[in-house]
Amino acid sequence: MELKNAFTLLYVVVLSSYFEPLFSCDLQRLFTESVLAKHVILIVSCFFLLTLMEDDKKPRSLGETFKLTGALYALYIASVKSKAIFVMPMILALVADHVLRVQVELMEKREADGLASDGDLALKARLVQLRAALTWVIVALIVGGMLHYYIRARLEFGDQFSTVAFFAGTKKCAHGPA
Protein backbone atom coordinates (compact mmCIF):
# COMPACT_ATOMS: atom_id res chain seq x y z
CA MET A 1 0.00 0.00 0.00
CA GLU A 2 1.31 3.40 -0.91
CA LEU A 3 1.84 5.95 1.85
CA LYS A 4 -0.71 8.32 0.32
CA ASN A 5 -3.34 5.54 0.35
CA ALA A 6 -2.64 4.76 4.00
CA PHE A 7 -2.72 8.46 4.82
CA THR A 8 -6.06 8.86 3.04
CA LEU A 9 -7.49 5.79 4.76
CA LEU A 10 -6.37 7.10 8.15
CA TYR A 11 -8.18 10.38 7.57
CA VAL A 12 -11.32 8.62 6.35
CA VAL A 13 -11.39 6.46 9.49
CA VAL A 14 -10.65 9.32 11.90
CA LEU A 15 -13.03 11.79 10.27
CA SER A 16 -15.89 9.41 9.49
CA SER A 17 -17.61 10.00 12.82
CA TYR A 18 -18.02 13.67 11.86
CA PHE A 19 -19.99 12.78 8.70
CA GLU A 20 -23.11 11.73 10.60
CA PRO A 21 -24.73 15.22 10.68
CA LEU A 22 -24.50 15.32 6.87
CA PHE A 23 -26.83 12.31 6.60
CA SER A 24 -30.56 12.81 6.40
CA CYS A 25 -32.36 12.56 9.73
CA ASP A 26 -33.77 9.24 8.56
CA LEU A 27 -30.28 7.82 7.93
CA GLN A 28 -29.00 9.24 11.22
CA ARG A 29 -31.84 7.48 13.06
CA LEU A 30 -31.21 4.25 11.13
CA PHE A 31 -27.48 4.22 11.91
CA THR A 32 -28.07 5.25 15.53
CA GLU A 33 -30.94 2.92 16.35
CA SER A 34 -30.49 -0.13 14.12
CA VAL A 35 -27.91 -2.65 15.23
CA LEU A 36 -28.43 -4.48 11.91
CA ALA A 37 -27.56 -1.31 9.95
CA LYS A 38 -24.36 -1.00 12.01
CA HIS A 39 -23.40 -4.58 11.08
CA VAL A 40 -24.06 -3.88 7.39
CA ILE A 41 -21.84 -0.78 7.61
CA LEU A 42 -19.15 -2.85 9.33
CA ILE A 43 -19.25 -5.56 6.63
CA VAL A 44 -19.08 -2.96 3.86
CA SER A 45 -16.21 -1.22 5.68
CA CYS A 46 -14.32 -4.53 5.97
CA PHE A 47 -14.79 -5.11 2.22
CA PHE A 48 -13.58 -1.61 1.35
CA LEU A 49 -10.63 -1.89 3.70
CA LEU A 50 -9.51 -5.18 2.18
CA THR A 51 -9.90 -3.95 -1.39
CA LEU A 52 -8.16 -0.64 -0.67
CA MET A 53 -5.25 -2.44 0.98
CA GLU A 54 -4.94 -5.10 -1.72
CA ASP A 55 -1.42 -5.70 -2.95
CA ASP A 56 -1.29 -5.06 -6.70
CA LYS A 57 1.36 -7.78 -7.03
CA LYS A 58 -0.90 -10.44 -5.53
CA PRO A 59 -4.51 -9.66 -6.50
CA ARG A 60 -7.26 -11.71 -4.84
CA SER A 61 -10.28 -13.21 -6.54
CA LEU A 62 -13.67 -11.78 -5.65
CA GLY A 63 -14.60 -15.01 -3.85
CA GLU A 64 -11.42 -14.87 -1.78
CA THR A 65 -12.10 -11.20 -0.99
CA PHE A 66 -15.61 -12.07 0.23
CA LYS A 67 -14.21 -14.88 2.41
CA LEU A 68 -11.62 -12.52 3.88
CA THR A 69 -14.33 -9.90 4.44
CA GLY A 70 -16.35 -12.46 6.43
CA ALA A 71 -13.29 -13.54 8.41
CA LEU A 72 -12.30 -9.93 9.18
CA TYR A 73 -15.87 -9.12 10.23
CA ALA A 74 -16.07 -12.18 12.52
CA LEU A 75 -12.63 -11.48 14.00
CA TYR A 76 -13.57 -7.88 14.71
CA ILE A 77 -16.91 -8.84 16.30
CA ALA A 78 -15.17 -11.42 18.50
CA SER A 79 -12.42 -8.97 19.45
CA VAL A 80 -14.80 -6.25 20.61
CA LYS A 81 -16.74 -8.65 22.85
CA SER A 82 -14.04 -8.43 25.53
CA LYS A 83 -13.03 -6.28 28.46
CA ALA A 84 -10.28 -3.70 27.89
CA ILE A 85 -7.81 -5.89 29.80
CA PHE A 86 -7.89 -8.27 26.81
CA VAL A 87 -8.37 -5.73 24.01
CA MET A 88 -5.46 -3.41 24.86
CA PRO A 89 -2.80 -6.18 24.86
CA MET A 90 -4.30 -7.47 21.60
CA ILE A 91 -3.93 -4.03 20.03
CA LEU A 92 -0.33 -3.83 21.27
CA ALA A 93 0.35 -7.30 19.82
CA LEU A 94 -1.13 -6.14 16.49
CA VAL A 95 1.17 -3.10 16.53
CA ALA A 96 4.19 -5.29 17.34
CA ASP A 97 3.24 -7.69 14.55
CA HIS A 98 2.96 -4.83 12.08
CA VAL A 99 6.37 -3.48 13.09
CA LEU A 100 7.87 -6.94 12.62
CA ARG A 101 6.12 -7.32 9.24
CA VAL A 102 7.66 -4.06 8.03
CA GLN A 103 11.10 -5.21 9.22
CA VAL A 104 10.74 -8.60 7.49
CA GLU A 105 9.72 -6.85 4.25
CA LEU A 106 12.80 -4.61 4.48
CA MET A 107 14.99 -7.67 5.00
CA GLU A 108 13.36 -9.41 2.03
CA LYS A 109 14.13 -6.38 -0.12
CA ARG A 110 17.74 -6.44 1.04
CA GLU A 111 17.84 -10.16 0.24
CA ALA A 112 16.38 -9.58 -3.24
CA ASP A 113 18.94 -6.82 -3.86
CA GLY A 114 21.75 -9.17 -2.79
CA LEU A 115 22.62 -7.05 0.25
CA ALA A 116 21.60 -9.50 2.99
CA SER A 117 24.16 -11.21 5.18
CA ASP A 118 23.83 -14.61 6.86
CA GLY A 119 22.98 -12.78 10.08
CA ASP A 120 20.14 -10.97 8.30
CA LEU A 121 18.71 -14.26 7.06
CA ALA A 122 18.87 -15.80 10.54
CA LEU A 123 17.26 -12.70 12.09
CA LYS A 124 14.54 -12.70 9.43
CA ALA A 125 13.74 -16.35 10.23
CA ARG A 126 13.45 -15.49 13.96
CA LEU A 127 11.21 -12.51 13.21
CA VAL A 128 8.95 -14.70 11.05
CA GLN A 129 8.71 -17.18 13.94
CA LEU A 130 7.97 -14.35 16.37
CA ARG A 131 5.18 -13.12 14.08
CA ALA A 132 3.71 -16.63 14.04
CA ALA A 133 3.81 -16.70 17.84
CA LEU A 134 2.20 -13.24 17.99
CA THR A 135 -0.62 -14.53 15.78
CA TRP A 136 -1.38 -17.17 18.43
CA VAL A 137 -1.17 -14.54 21.18
CA ILE A 138 -3.64 -12.33 19.31
CA VAL A 139 -6.03 -15.25 18.72
CA ALA A 140 -5.74 -16.32 22.38
CA LEU A 141 -6.50 -12.79 23.58
CA ILE A 142 -9.52 -12.54 21.27
CA VAL A 143 -10.94 -15.97 22.14
CA GLY A 144 -10.04 -15.75 25.83
CA GLY A 145 -11.43 -12.23 26.16
CA MET A 146 -14.63 -13.10 24.33
CA LEU A 147 -15.19 -16.27 26.39
CA HIS A 148 -14.46 -14.40 29.62
CA TYR A 149 -16.98 -11.68 28.75
CA TYR A 150 -19.56 -14.19 27.45
CA ILE A 151 -19.45 -16.32 30.61
CA ARG A 152 -19.55 -13.24 32.82
CA ALA A 153 -22.57 -11.86 30.94
CA ARG A 154 -24.41 -15.22 31.07
CA LEU A 155 -23.88 -15.43 34.82
CA GLU A 156 -24.89 -11.80 35.36
CA PHE A 157 -28.07 -11.82 33.25
CA GLY A 158 -29.17 -15.44 33.75
CA ASP A 159 -32.43 -16.20 31.92
CA GLN A 160 -32.49 -12.72 30.37
CA PHE A 161 -29.19 -13.36 28.56
CA SER A 162 -29.36 -13.62 24.76
CA THR A 163 -26.46 -15.03 22.76
CA VAL A 164 -27.76 -13.26 19.65
CA ALA A 165 -27.88 -9.92 21.47
CA PHE A 166 -24.42 -10.59 22.91
CA PHE A 167 -22.84 -10.94 19.45
CA ALA A 168 -25.14 -8.60 17.52
CA GLY A 169 -24.96 -5.85 20.12
CA THR A 170 -27.63 -3.67 21.64
CA LYS A 171 -28.58 -0.03 21.43
CA LYS A 172 -27.69 0.53 25.07
CA CYS A 173 -25.40 -1.22 27.55
CA ALA A 174 -27.03 -2.48 30.75
CA HIS A 175 -24.47 -0.69 32.92
CA GLY A 176 -23.59 2.20 30.63
CA PRO A 177 -20.52 2.35 28.40
CA ALA A 178 -18.05 1.66 31.24
Q: What is the pLDDT of residue 9?
A: 66
Whether 86 shows a pLDDT value over 80: the answer reads yes
- Using the 3D structure, point to which of 33, 62, 79 is the last residue of a domain: 79
- Give the range of the structural domain holding residue 47, as residue numbers without chain letter: 1-79
Indicate the number of domains in the chain: 2
Q: What is the pLDDT of residue 166?
A: 81
pTM here is: 0.74
**CB-based contacts of 76, cutoff 8 Å, min separation 6:** 42, 46
The pLDDT tens digits for 108-164 are 888 888 777 777 778 888 999 999 999 999 999 999 999 999 999 889 888 888 888
Q: Is the separation of the CB atoms in 167 and 154 below 8 Å? A: no
If asked whether residues 72 and 149 sit together in one domain, one would say no
Q: How many residues does the chain have?
A: 178
Report which DSSP code applies to 171: S
- Using the 3D structure, point to which of 79, 102, 135 is the last residue of a domain: 79
Mean pLDDT of 22-49: 86
- Using the 3D structure, point to which of 79, 95, 130 is the last residue of a domain: 79
Mean pLDDT of 36-52: 86
CA–CA separation, 53 and 22 (whole Å): 27
